[in-house]
Amino acid sequence: MDIDKNKNFSEWFNTIISDAGLADLRYNVKGFVVFRPWSVKSMKLMYAAYEAELEARGHSPALFPALIPEQNFKIEGEHVEGFTPQVFWVEQAGGNKLEERLAMRPTSETAMYQMYALWIQGLADLPLKIYQSCQVWRYETKATKPFFRSREFHWIEAHDCFATEKEARGQVREDMEMTEAVVHQQFGIPFLFFQRPEWDKFPGAVHTYAADTLMPDGRVLQLPSTHLLGTNFAKAFNVYYQDEKGEKSPVWQTCYGPAISRIYGALFSVHGDNKGLVLPFDFAPVQVVIVPILGKGQDGEAVLKYANEVLAHLLHDGIRAKVDSTPSTPGFKYNHWEMHGVPVRIEIGGREAEAKQITLVMRDAPPKTKKTISLTESIMVIRSEGAALSSRLLAKADAYFGSHLAQAKTMDELKAGLEKGCIVRVPYCSMEKTEGKGCADEIKAQLVGDVRGIKYDEKAPAHGETCVYCQKPAQHFAYVARQY
Amino acid sequence: MDIDKNKNFSEWFNTIISDAGLADLRYNVKGFVVFRPWSVKSMKLMYAAYEAELEARGHSPALFPALIPEQNFKIEGEHVEGFTPQVFWVEQAGGNKLEERLAMRPTSETAMYQMYALWIQGLADLPLKIYQSCQVWRYETKATKPFFRSREFHWIEAHDCFATEKEARGQVREDMEMTEAVVHQQFGIPFLFFQRPEWDKFPGAVHTYAADTLMPDGRVLQLPSTHLLGTNFAKAFNVYYQDEKGEKSPVWQTCYGPAISRIYGALFSVHGDNKGLVLPFDFAPVQVVIVPILGKGQDGEAVLKYANEVLAHLLHDGIRAKVDSTPSTPGFKYNHWEMHGVPVRIEIGGREAEAKQITLVMRDAPPKTKKTISLTESIMVIRSEGAALSSRLLAKADAYFGSHLAQAKTMDELKAGLEKGCIVRVPYCSMEKTEGKGCADEIKAQLVGDVRGIKYDEKAPAHGETCVYCQKPAQHFAYVARQY
C-alpha cells in the first residue's frame, strides 16, 4: 500500500484493516466485526501487559456473568438512565419467555456490586481490587467504526472498593499511572488525562477522568477512563463495611476501563506509516521475519538451512520469528512484511550463510539502511534494536502529539486550532452543567469542537481570563477538540 | 475442612468451592456463577497452556462476535435442531425491536463458517486452522452444577478446514494428541477417548470423539470433544475451494472444544483430598507460600526480613510465591494454604534465618515430612520437587482411573460394575441409531448407565460375543458409565 496516512486517514485506516488482515467488516450484524489473527495476536500481548500491571498493583482477576437481571440494572438511578438506550436485552431462551429480561453487560457495575455486598463485611475485606477481561455490548446510536467504536468490544474493567475517600482518590491517581506505564510507555501512545465536564461523566460517577489521544485526522479518541464513584453505588447496592467501633459505612469505589480493541486501533493509527503497520517490538505477532535470498549461482539449500538455523536460535531465546520461504520474490516479501509491521527483517543470502552472519533491516529505517552482524551477537542486537525501534515510535508519537496542542482565547483562534487538527486550550466559564454546557453546545454547533474537560493536574484557575465563548469570567482552562 | 472426598463427593465439592473461594453461586441468574480469583488464576494458566499447544500445532487466534443472526443459525439443519432448545435470544436493543433476532453463541460454527466462505478460495488458503477463547451460553435443561454444567461457560473452540478427508481425519487424531499432551500430561487428568454412538453426536457432525474422565462419585464427565464435520457445514455455508484443475470442492472440516471452566472442575475434583485442593505445580496461583514462625525468644524481625529475602529470591526466578505475615498462628496458616492447594510450603523460623536455610513441606507429603535445604539450592529443589508433586498427582490419578475400569458380559455384571463406580466395557449390538439406541435406553432405564461409545482406537469387533442387553451378535465393545 502507499497511502498518505495524515492526508487520507480514513482510506489508510480501511485499507490497512483489510490488507493486513486485522478485521473483517462483512459480518452480518451491524456494528459487529470479526477480529482476525493479526490483530488478535497483538491484542493478546496487550491484554497480558495490562493484566500484569493490574496484578502488580494488587488487583485479582475474576469472571462475572455476561447477563445481568433487569432488577440489578435498575438499582442505581443515573446509571440505568445513562445505559438503558444502549442495552441488548435477552427475553427468550429455548422456546421460553424468561420471567425477567436480562441485559447483556454494557459494563459490569450492576453484576459485580451485589456480590461485593456479600463479600465485604469489615475492614479486613478492604481494599477489594478486582478486574475482569471480557467483552461488552452497547447498542451504539453513533456511527460505528471498527476498533474505535463497535457494538461489541473487548476490554478490561477494574472495580475497586476502599474504606476511605482518600484511598479511592489515590486509586484514581494509580489508574492514571497505570495508563501512563502501559499505554504510553509500553504501547507508545501519547494522551492527556482530562477531568470530564459535569455533563459528560460516566453515569453514576462523582468524577470521570479520561485519557484522550489524537488520531492523524485531528480527532481525539478516548482511551482508558477512571471514575471516582464515591458512595453512590455502594449505597444503592448495600456495600457497607463495619469499622472497629462497629459502625457501618458505605465503601468508596472506583472503576477503570481500558478497552483493548480500541487501544489497538489507536496503536496502529498512531504508529503506522504510508507503507502500512509499524508495531512496537513487544507487541508484534512476528518480531523478526527471515527472508532467504536465493540468488543465481548460489547454494539455495545452504541458504535455507542456515535461515532455519537462525530461526531456531531466535525462537530458543523466546523471540517471535519466522522464515518466509514462500515462492514469492524477496521484494514482494519485503512489502508484505513491512505492511504487516514486523519490526525486524533479516536478509540471508549465500554470503551470510557462509560467514554465519545476518543482515538486519529495521521496519522504520530509511531505505537501504542495513546492518550485518554475526549470528552469535544476533539476540543481543535484535533485542536492543527492537527496543530502540519502540523508543523511536514513542518519541515520534510524542513529538506529533506535542505539535498538535494549541492555545486560543477567541472563537476565531479556536477555529483555526481545530482546523489544524489540534487539541486547543481555552479559558472557559464553568464545568458545571447549568453554567457551562451552553457554551459547549455552541462550540459544538459552530466549530464541531467538543469540550473535553480540564487537565486533571492543572489546578490553577484561569484568573482574569474570560470564557472563549460567553466572555464571562473563566473558572478554568478547558481543552477543546474534534472527537470520535 | 475434613470431608471424605470419595465417600461424600457432593459435599466435598460444594464445600471446597465455597471455602477455597473458587466460585460464588449466589448470583441471581439461574445456572450462572461468579468465578472468583482463586479459580480464575488457575484457569488463566490453563488457557495459556492450551493456547500454546494449539498455536504450536498451527492454529491462529481470532475473535468472532458473540451474537449470531437467526438466519445463519438456521443454515445447517441438524445443527439448528440440536441447539435451538438451548439458545438465549436477543430481540430488543435500547428501546428498539431488532429486525432479526440474534442468538447468543452456544458454539460458533454458524458465526465462523460464513466468514470462512469469504476467506477460502483456493488451495493456498488451506489448511485454515483458527481458534477462539471465549464464553458460550446454553440454556441447559438438565440440572446445572458449577464448573461441570452451567448456562455460561468458558472454553476454547478450534475450527479447521482442509482440502481432503484424510487431512481432516488427521486433525481429529491431532486433537486427541493435544488433549493427551495438555489435559493428561500437564493437568494430570486421565480419560478415555470414545467415538460417540450415532444417537449422541454433535449436531451436524459425521463423527464425534469425546474424552471422558471419571469423578470420585463414579460418574464420568465429558472433557474435550473433537468432531469430524465432513462436508456438511461446508456445503451449507458454501465453503468451497478451487483446485489446480479449476474444480470446486467443499472443504473438509473439524472442530474441537476444550471447556476450560469444566476441565478446571475436573482438575480439582481429581486431585483434591480430604483437606482441600491439591494443585499441580504449574497451575497453582501461588506455588510457594512462606510461613514465618515467630517463636518465643526469637528475633521476629530477623525472621520476617529473611522470609522476604527468600520471597524476592523466588519471585526473581519467576516462581509464584508469597509470604503469609498475617497475625494468625502457623497452624491456622498451614490449614488455610493446604485447603487452597498450594504445592509447596516453606517454614522459616529463627534457625532457618540464621543458617540461611529453608524448610520445605510438600502439599501431598505425609504429616511431619519436612526437608531443610540451603537458600542457594532452593530454586532448583523447589522446581524439581514441584515437578515431582505434579508427577505423583498424575500417577495417583492414573491408578485410580485404571482401577475403575471393568468388564461385563451380562446385565448383572454391568450393574455390579456401575455400582462400584466403574466405566464398564461390554459387548454391544450396534452404534447405529436404528439398531443400537433401544438397548442404550434400556440400560439407562434399568441401571442408570449411559452408553458412551466405542474406544476410538479399538478397531477389533466383538466376534462371537452377544450384546449385553439384547443378546444379538455384538458388533463392538462399548463402554457404559453413569454420567454427569
Query: Which A residues in the span 82-141 are in contact with B, Cβ-Cβ below 8 Å?
Result: 84-96, 101-102, 104, 111, 114-115, 118-119, 130, 135, 137, 139, 141
Question: A347 and A330 in contact (C-beta within 8 Å)?
Answer: yes
Domain count, chain B: 3
Residues of B in contact with A101 (CB under 8 A): 92
A292: pLDDT strictly greater than 80: yes
A 10 A CB-CB count for A459 gives 8
* CB within 8 Å: B60 and A67: no
Nearest residue on chain A to B33, judged by CA atoms? A65
Residue A40 in contact with partner chain B when CB distance is under 8 A: yes
Q: Is the dihedral of CA B427, B202, B204, B244 positive or negative?
A: negative
- Whether A393 maps to a domain, the answer reads no
Task: Tell me what pLDDT residue A444 has.
Answer: 97
- Nearest CA to CA, how far is A41 from chain B (Å)? 7
**Closest listed residue to residue B197, CA positions, set B362, B481, B440:** B440
Cell of A217: 485526522
- CATH assignment of the domain containing A443: 3.30.110.30
What's the residue count for chain A?
484
* CB within 8 Å: B37 and A60: yes
- Whether B394 maps to a domain, the answer reads no
On whether both A357 and A469 belong to a single domain, the answer is: no
Residue A62 in contact with partner chain B when CB distance is under 8 A: yes
- Whether A421 maps to a domain, the answer reads yes
User: What pTM value is reported for the model?
Assistant: 0.97
- Whether A389 maps to a domain, the answer reads no
On whether both B297 and B341 belong to a single domain, the answer is: yes
Task: Tell me what pLDDT residue B295 has.
Answer: 77
On whether both A236 and A348 belong to a single domain, the answer is: no
- CATH assignment of the domain containing B242: 3.30.930.10
On whether both B259 and B319 belong to a single domain, the answer is: no
**Closest listed residue to residue A84, CA positions, set B334, B96, B107, B213:** B96
Q: How large is the average pLDDT for residues A441-460?
A: 92
* CB within 8 Å: B66 and A135: yes
- Facing residue for A63 by CB, picked from B60, B90, B154: B154
Residues of B in contact with A63 (CB under 8 A): 34-35, 40, 43, 154
Residue A44 in contact with partner chain B when CB distance is under 8 A: yes
End position of a domain, from candidates B271, B299, B319: B271
Residues of A in contact with B127 (CB under 8 A): none
Phi, psi angles (nearest 5°) of residue B374: -85, 155
- Whether B277 maps to a domain, the answer reads no
- CATH assignment of the domain containing B339: 3.40.50.800
Q: Find all residues with CB under 8 Å of A362, minimum gap 6, and list them.
A: A343, A344, A345, A369, A385, A389
Helical axes A433-447 vs A411-419, angle rounded to 10°? 60
Helical axes A37-56 vs A165-179, angle rounded to 10°? 140
- Whether B321 maps to a domain, the answer reads yes
Question: B304 and B324 in contact (C-beta within 8 Å)?
Answer: no
DSSP state of A180: I
List, for residues B248-269, the tens digit of each pLDDT value.
Answer: 999 999 999 999 999 999 999 9
Residues of B in contact with A71 (CB under 8 A): 28
**Closest listed residue to residue B65, CA positions, set A153, A245, A194:** A153
- How much of chain B exceeds pLDDT 90, in percent? 91
Provide the residue type at A100 as one letter.
E
CA-to-CA distance for A478 and A196, rounded, in angstroms? 10
End position of a domain, from candidates A242, A271, A300: A271
- Whether B219 maps to a domain, the answer reads yes
End position of a domain, from candidates B349, B383, B417: B383
Pair type for strands B288-292 and B252-257: unpaired
On whether both A261 and A336 belong to a single domain, the answer is: no
Residues of B in contact with A64 (CB under 8 A): 27, 34-35
Confidence of residue A368 (pLDDT cuts 50, 70, 90): confident
Task: Tell me what pLDDT residue B3 has.
Answer: 94
CA–chain centroid gap for A132, Å, is 16
Mean pLDDT lowest among A164-178, A179-193, A199-213, A284-298: A284-298
Give the domain range for residue B37.
9-271
> 3-state class of A429 per DSSP?
coil
Residues of A in contact with B86 (CB under 8 A): 94
Cell of B13: 465439592
On whether both A28 and A171 belong to a single domain, the answer is: yes
HSE, CB side, 13 Å, CA atoms: give it for residue B254.
29
- Facing residue for A94 by CB, picked from B28, B94, B139: B139
Confidence of residue A42 (pLDDT cuts 50, 70, 90): very high
Residues of A in contact with B152 (CB under 8 A): 65-67
List, for residues A86-137, the tens digit of each pLDDT value.
Answer: 999 999 999 899 999 999 999 999 999 999 999 999 999 999 999 999 999 9
Task: Tell me what pLDDT residue A22 has.
Answer: 98
On whether both A375 and A435 belong to a single domain, the answer is: no
* CB within 8 Å: A28 and B72: yes
**Closest listed residue to residue B256, CA positions, set B127, B108, B45, B399:** B108
- Nearest CA to CA, how far is B59 from chain A (Å)? 10
- Look-up of cell digits 466485526: A33
* Residues in chain B where the model's pLDDT stays below 70: 459-460
Phi, psi angles (nearest 5°) of residue B234: -55, -45
On whether both B266 and B294 belong to a single domain, the answer is: no
CA-to-CA distance for A129 and A175, rounded, in angstroms? 12
The ipTM, to two decimals, is 0.96
On whether both B307 and B354 belong to a single domain, the answer is: yes
Q: Determine which of A55, A88, A105 to mutate to test the interface with B (most B C-beta atoms within 10 Å).
A: A88
On whether both B300 and B244 belong to a single domain, the answer is: no
- Facing residue for A65 by CB, picked from B34, B43, B91: B34
Residue A58 in contact with partner chain B when CB distance is under 8 A: no
- Facing residue for A62 by CB, picked from B36, B114, B118: B36
On whether both B20 and B158 belong to a single domain, the answer is: yes
Cell of B145: 452444577
> 3-state class of B106 per DSSP?
coil
